[in-house]
């Protein structure tokens, strides 16, 4: 299990649009491995870390000359954080045990981040195989501009959307004319309701 931590200050620019925010930092997310080492897991494109040539998968061995292996995750994150315009130097390597390392110095700066929605838009879905008093075998169709196909097994709806594993619950009323699919996708509650094998409505942004 690797815990992730975005090594930056996060400042939301507007409460309604939680997908869009600013951070001050170098633009990396890193995790702590079971061996108490720290590995870069994500780099924001065009951020200081990206421009400086840091790579996903590299290990952070030291911050401003201080060795970090064995430290707590939040302490290392605080060492990498700092005010806009100040510098930080990371000693990194492709392996936590290698003797071949390099030092990378970066200026912390303000970074605008926009997260894309996994799903958003009008629902136009069909329950394939639907018949009165029977359970469909698949739900397929459009959510906004994205086409999805999810399998239905009894009361479970399962499949993948852009590599994200989806598990939802299927149910119907006593007359089998009203169908519902609901559950959480990436911690976002989705509730889709339709009649006689067709689901329409609107899905807000799932991040």
Return the number of other C-beta atoms located less than 10 Å from residue 117's C-beta: 16
Q: Are 21 and 10 in contact (CB under 8 A)?
A: yes
CATH of domain 3-114: 2.30.42.10
CA–CA gap between residue 57 and residue 60 (Å, rounded): 10
CA–CA gap between residue 171 and residue 154 (Å, rounded): 9
pLDDT band at 3 (very low <50, low <70, confident <90, very high): very low
pLDDT band at 15 (very low <50, low <70, confident <90, very high): very low
Q: Are 190 and 170 in contact (CB under 8 A)?
A: no
Q: Are 8 and 23 in contact (CB under 8 A)?
A: yes
| Domain residue limits, the chain | 3-114, 119-206
Calculate mean pLDDT across residues 41-50: 90
Which has the closest alpha carbon to 136: 123, 148, 154, 161? 154
Q: Are 93 and 60 in contact (CB under 8 A)?
A: no
CA–CA gap between residue 30 and residue 39 (Å, rounded): 5
Which has the closest alpha carbon to 129: 113, 109, 107, 152? 152
Kindly tell me if the per-residue pLDDT of 162 is higher than 90. Answer: no
Close Cβ partners of 31 (under 8 Å, ≥ 6 residues apart): 2, 3, 4, 5, 38, 39, 41, 73
pLDDT band at 134 (very low <50, low <70, confident <90, very high): confident
Q: Are 65 and 32 in contact (CB under 8 A)?
A: no
Note the pLDDT of residue 20. 66
Calculate mean pLDDT across residues 72-81: 91
Close Cβ partners of 171 (under 8 Å, ≥ 6 residues apart): 155, 179, 180, 182
């Amino acid at each position: 299990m690797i815990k992730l931590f975005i090594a930056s200050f996060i400042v939301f620019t507007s409460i309604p649009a939680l997908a869009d925010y600013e951070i001050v930092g170098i633009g990396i997310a890193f995790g702590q491995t079971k061996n108490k080492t720290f590995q870069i897991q994500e780099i924001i494109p065009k951020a200081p870390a990206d421009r400086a040539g840091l790579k996903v998968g590299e290990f952070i061995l030291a911050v401003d000359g201080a060795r970090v292996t064995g430290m707590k995750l939040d302490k290392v994150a605080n060492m990498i954080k700092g005010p806009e315009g100040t510098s930080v130097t990371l000693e990194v390597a492709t392996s936590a045990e290698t003797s071949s390392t390099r030092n990378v110095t970066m200026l912390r700066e303000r970074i605008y981040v926009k997260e894309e929605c996994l799903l958003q838009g009008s629902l136009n879905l069909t329950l394939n195989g639907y018949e009165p008093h029977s359970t469909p075998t698949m739900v397929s169709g459009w959510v906004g501009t994205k086409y999805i196909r999810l399998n239905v097994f009894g009361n479970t709806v399962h499949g993948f959307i852009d590599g994200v594993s989806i598990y939802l619950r299927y149910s119907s009323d006593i007359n089998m004319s009203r169908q519902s699919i609901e559950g959480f996708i990436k911690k976002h509650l989705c509730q889709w309701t339709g009649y006689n094998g067709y689901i329409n409505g609107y899905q807000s942004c799932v991040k």
